[in-house]
Amino acid sequence: MDKKTFPNALLLGEVAAVLDEGREAIISPTGNSMLPFIRGGVDRVVLHRTPDVAVGDIALVYTDGRYLLHRIVARKGDALTLMGDGNVRGLEHCRRADVIGTVAEIIRPDGSRRKPGKASLWQALRPVRRYLLAFYKRVLI
């Protein structure tokens, strides 16, 4: 099976349209910002529209002219703060209206599916995340 790659602006614009129709979309994220829970270029994610989002949800957002698939780490009214699980610093901010969809399932290469958790323990480990991620990248990948 041939693999085709499309620019984010084109592909994720179409994903937004599909989600607006009430359907789900499956995408293959790239990058390492969601390690260890989502492996870029390896795992796929099932996205769906949700009427509301909460802290701990993994959201696809369009903000500051780019698309991000990161976890919501704080919410104050309509304002959201996001951070990739594989990041040790750096937060993004957006509005609820910037959320395109949320991750309903993570699909592993063997076809198994799992629901994403809220990663509250992982968030609590933020001060030592740098060391855990270094171990993961060097030993487990």
99-108: pLDDT as tens digits: 999 999 999 9
Asked if 78 contacts 95 with a C-beta cutoff of 8 angstroms, the reply is: yes
> Smallest Cα–Cα separation from 12: which of 45, 39, 52?
45
Class of 8-140 per CATH? mainly beta
- Domain ranges for the chain: 8-140
The confidence score (pLDDT) of residue 82 equals 97
Dist CA 33 CA 38 (whole Å): 8
The confidence score (pLDDT) of residue 141 equals 59
The confidence score (pLDDT) of residue 1 equals 60
32-67: pLDDT as tens digits: 999 999 999 999 999 999 889 999 999 999 999 899
